[in-house]
Amino acid sequence: MRPVVFSTNRLHPRAEALLAKECDLRIASALDDQTLMREAAGAFAVIVRAPIPAMIFAAAPSLRVAIRHGAGLDMMPVDAATAAGVMVANVPAVNAPTVAEHVMMVSLTLLRHFRRVDRDLRERGWNAGRDNAYSANDLSGRTIGVVGFGAVGAAVARIATGGFGMNVLAHNRSAKEADGVAFVDLDTLLRDADIVVLCCPLTRETRGLLDAQRIAQMQRHALLVNVSRGPVIVDDALIAALSEGRLAGAALDVFSEQPLPAGHPYFNFDNVIITPHMAGITEESMMRMGVGAAEEALRVLRGAWPVNLRNPEVVDKLRPQIA
């Protein structure tokens, strides 16, 4: 029998073709825990595009590696994988340019009042749409504050400085340097930035990072863009700031509850752009992430270590390879 790779979701056709040369690819029929555990049985690798339960490693004793289709590991029970002797890998940085482009797109959309322009033009005519332009703003010359200076944050900074002539502030948990970027404490960034972009991972330290006190430090004309994870923002605090006109707008790609429930207050704001966790998704980025995940699975199949091993402490507990 050919070795089995189990994936929570479909992969880019190029990734599926790559795996098909040496493996059988099994796609989950549903994403509930019981289905995932049942259908992962017999697989040596799982490719993760949706949250997987910690119990999956006991339910699938042949699993040797769990590979995140992308960078963030919050969908992966890493501690449980390590305890079970399963390697955890990811595909970092490959969608960073895609996410950075999204940040610039939504920032421009907010500054140029695109939602109102489009609505008024369609419903009320040419002049009504055009009138929104008089209160629009340029992106060039503004100050953008990047919270979390990993691959995405660095890509945002490169586009901001090289493409738009922006001033860039950054805050990162560890010391970094980058041309044209001033690294500052979080309070300074929130106070001085015209656009605050959240690019940080979700950790104990970043959960609830933007609460009422920190949002109150932002300028009234400032914009908030979240491409990290929903729980980094305290929703009630942001909703209050938007309702009271203490922020000019927000662009949110991620939410504490996903999918975002119908009737959520975020839907009620003209100056809020909502996207369904798609900042990092394009045809090109899906190809890069899918192929990267497939290549990691094939490395493990051939007896090698993943290039991007994220739990090196598993080495002493590693499950034996099953022929």
Domain ranges of the chain: 4-92+283-317, 96-274
4-92+283-317 folds as Rossmann fold (3.40.50)
Q: Enter the DSSP assignment of 173.
A: S
pLDDT at 322: 56
What's the average model confidence in pLDDT over 26-54? 97
Rounded to two decimals, the pTM is 0.93
**Which long-range contacts (C-beta less than 8 Å, at least 24 apart) are formed by 309-315?**
309/87, 309/88, 309/89, 310/68, 310/73, 310/78, 310/88, 310/89, 310/90, 311/78, 311/81, 311/82, 311/87, 311/88, 313/82, 314/81, 314/82, 314/85, 314/86, 314/87, 314/88
Confidence of residue 64 (pLDDT cuts 50, 70, 90): very high
Decide if pLDDT at 323 tops 70: no
Confidence of residue 175 (pLDDT cuts 50, 70, 90): confident
Edge-first strand listing for the sheet containing 249-252: 181-183, 167-171, 143-147, 195-198, 223-226, 249-252, 272-274
Please enumerate in sequence order all residues whose Cβ is within 8 A of that of 38, keeping only pairs 6 or more positions apart, or say none. Answer: 59
pLDDT at 146: 98
| DSSP H or E stretch at residue 156 | helix 151-164
| DSSP H or E stretch at residue 6 | strand 4-7
In a 3-state reduction of DSSP, which class is residue 165?
Answer: coil
What's the average model confidence in pLDDT over 3-15? 98
Work out the mean pLDDT of the chain and round it to a whole number: 96
* pLDDT single digits (tens) 200-218: 999 999 999 999 999 999 9
* pLDDT single digits (tens) 227-276: 999 999 999 999 999 999 999 999 999 999 999 999 999 999 999 999 99
173's tokens: 């948990």
Amino acid residing at 46: V
Plot region of 303 (φ>0 → left; ψ -120 to 50 → alpha; else → beta): left
Distance (Å, whole) CA 213 – CA 197: 17
**One fold for both 4-92+283-317 and 96-274?**
yes
96-274 folds as Rossmann fold (3.40.50)
What's the average model confidence in pLDDT over 139-146? 98
